[in-house]
Chains A and B, each alone.
Chain A
Amino acid sequence: MAETDLESFRAEAREWLEANCPPEMREPVRDEGDVYWGGRNGSFKNDAQKAWFEACRDKGYTVPEWPKPYGGAGLSPAEGKILRQEMARINARPPLSSFGIWMLGPALLHFGTEGQKQKFLNEIARGEIRWCQGYSEPGSGSDLVSMQTYGEDKGDHWIVNGQKIWTSYADEADWIFCLVRTDKENKYQGITFMLFDMANEGVSTKPIKLISGYSPFCETFMDDVMVPKSYGEDIPGYVGEINRGWDVAKYLLGHEREMISATGGGDRASSLGAVSARQGELDPVLRAEMAMFDVDALSFTAMSEKFMDELKANKGHPAQPNMLKYAGTELNKRRHELIMAAGGSRALEWESEETQGGKTARGWLRTKANSIEGGTSEVMLNVISKRILELPGS
């Protein structure tokens, strides 16, 4: 698209955002409640959040780059980048967050049938169905492919038994995309990527309390759950092919790593040192560490931008998301160590009003999971050394 068309798109986007993004939605996101997550039981925190979500939904801006028939706005990569820039310029909050947008959507766009796209993508884009992800199991963390949850073939359906762990917000989700073993003899080619309703009989969830005191994750139990092979014409109850779910899972892990790394470095717009110095004088050595951190964080921001640019132009190494995931999550952990150091004893408070219920300390503890979930830093380094540097060995 010509430069002038893009500039007129920018002007349009700016005008639209000006008219439709309420002032309350231009404040930094402080916690997950500040963003609408959709779903059957989705609730809005306030009218501004509702208005912002509905305006974006009707414009296709909950998923701007998805095709229009699936609920998106059909923007080109260049237009999508401009919209993101314009949203960032006014600090606009995301109108809708969900694992459907970040993960299942990309998988369906790549592997889904037309019928699946029509149904599921529209439901996601319109915030109607909230999804959760069933990957890890108690015995299968980094070694995900060893998972045991089993679906017994009963002709037109499976009977699924097993347990998933670290299912984010499973207790609030409507549907799950779930890896289920359908062939015990074949490790990699014996897994099916199933889709089913969490309201099905035999599905139960139990929240896991973390060191932060929060419970964003659950254990999910499946006890003789019936999963149909089809939800109607051209709408299989699984993504890709039966027994080839690992291909979908690998593809999605790439997206998950991108997503996690995209949030790495935290609030991109502001310098950590500048924010901390406004709250109190920094010890000289801490100031120096902050400066070194800001060097790394600003550099990583450029890396993320470069990565996204390359992704859209089909350039760059396919294993590059592993690098971003590694660097981004390690950076975020470092950021929160420094925030704790700058905060001093105030940052230790666990329940006080002053800290909005211990947000500093809990947030710090939460970041420790960044380099574990979605593939540990150590697994990322393994992948980089094997697939990018092509170092020898198992």
Chain B
Amino acid sequence: MPLYHDDDQAMLADTASQFMGEEGAIGKQLRHWRDRDCKDGFGHDLWKQMAEMGFTGMLVGEDDGGLGMGQVEANIVLEEIGRNLTPSPFLASSVLAATALKHADGAVRERWLPGLVSGDHVYSVALDEGPKHRPEKIAAKAEKSGNGFRLTGSKDFVIHGASADMLIVAARTSGSDSDADGVTLFAVPKDAANMSHEAVRLVDSSMATHTKFDGVELDGDAVIGEVDGGREILNAMLRAGRVGAAAEGVGVARGAMDMTVDYLKQRKQFGQLIGEFQALQHRAAHLYSEVEIAKAVTIKAAQLVDGGSEKADLMASVAKAKVAKAAGLAVREGVQMHGGIGMTDEYDIGLYMKRDRALQEFLGDQYYHAGRVAELSGY
């Protein structure tokens, strides 16, 4: 498969670009909700509009009312989300949760998928335990209790956890903390007793929670997939989520770079456009190279995920790490090249830096993923 979009995908990219550029624009969404101190961190109206566009259920199978599309298509939407810094539950709900629910049996899918496709519901995932992403270790416990389970433990960096109608929680049903086996995924509804959220606003104005499960009683219907067999589903979620986060990061990088290059063509100092200075030209050209390469490895990783390739895991980590490097460079160069105004809240370039910082941490930063590349390569 060639590493560019086919005609249908190119059309989707045009549609997504136009939609996010208008409806998802920084002034209309990110600043709007931030300046109103919105407790969700995103707008539900936009989420409904995204449902009308068919975005929310892109990865949901056609039998379940979705579009049955793949990672490449989801990435197209995510890149536009990144470019416009559009706050939305798309990555957590439509990519991560949707990927998990693909593995659920009929009753669980019927319960949760219609709300996702229609945009009435928002879902999230509770994976991390602690400030760094370490999904190899899962300490939260779900013990047998009657016909169901009793969930105990705590999770961090749960994206808009307090607004989610359902959380997908990775918990241990057997073995010890660092075992690969013995993990089970649960769909925990919003109104579950003994679940509590401490909501925190993050640097990029998004909302997340520290969530505690203090003996949450779950019936057997909450289980996604097989008991003790959640690791494989979790890995599928992580693969999709990481490649998706990489696509959003490519969008952030492109947005920051485009803005900066435009600025170099407008700003005058010492009687000339600063874009005429070779010191800045070379840095901008280097940045362009890095962003192009990040884009290439992201579409490669997405195609490998869609093709079920055995290299998908490796390339998902390569893409997440490479995009983190390139997007980090884009926002740092962006702020520096904007000079003083780059430090002001009024200018958008700083918003790119903040979003990039949050996205870097989500599902593993460049150090985590470079380490994983080494391990998967055998050293």
Contact = CB atoms under 8 A, between A and B. Distances in A.
Nearest to A300: B293
Nearest to B261: A389
Contact of B289 (A271, A305, A312, A326): A326
Contacts of B282: 378, 381-382, 385
Interface string B273-304: 10111101110111011101110110111000
Contacts of B261: 389, 391
Interface residues of B, number: 44
A307 B4 CA distance: 9
Interface string B223-255: 000000000000000000000000000000000
B3 A302 contact: yes
Contacts of A306: 3-4, 296, 299-300
B379 A290 contact: yes
A65 interface: no
Nearest to B281: A385
Contact of A323 (B281, B292, B294, B371): B292
B289 A384 contact: yes
Contacts of A327: 289-290, 293
A299 B296 contact: yes
A137 to B, nearest CB: 25
B369 A295 contact: yes
Contacts of B4: 306, 309-310, 313, 315
A195 B289 CA distance: 36
For the residues of A in contact with B, the DSSP-based class is helix
A120 B120 CA distance: 68
B374 interface: yes
A392 B322 CA distance: 29
A48 interface: no
Contact of A288 (B273, B275, B370): B370
Contacts of A307: 296
B279 to A, nearest CB: 11
Contacts of A282: 379
B293 A290 contact: no
Contacts of B322: 295-296, 299
Given A309-B3, A384-B289, A391 B265 contact: yes
B376 to A, nearest CB: 9
Contacts of A378: 282
Given A273-B377, A294-B374, A381-B285, A393 B276 contact: yes
Q: Which of A291, A310, A384, A386 has the most CB of B within 10 A?
A: A291
Q: Which of B265, B315, B318 has the most CB of A within 10 A?
A: B318
Interface string B352-377: 00000000000000100111011001
Interface of B: 2-4, 261, 264-265, 273, 275-278, 280-282, 284-286, 288-290, 292-294, 296-297, 299-301, 314-315, 318-319, 321-322, 325, 366, 369-371, 373-374, 377-379
Given A305-B3, A312-B2, A381-B281, 4 more contacts: A294-B374, A294-B377, A323-B289, A389-B261
10 contacts: A295-B322, A298-B318, A299-B322, A302-B3, A303-B292, A306-B300, A378-B282, A381-B281, A391-B280, A393-B277
The 7 A-B residue pairs whose C-beta atoms are closest, nearest first, are A277-B379, A393-B276, A306-B3, A384-B285, A385-B281, A271-B377, A302-B300
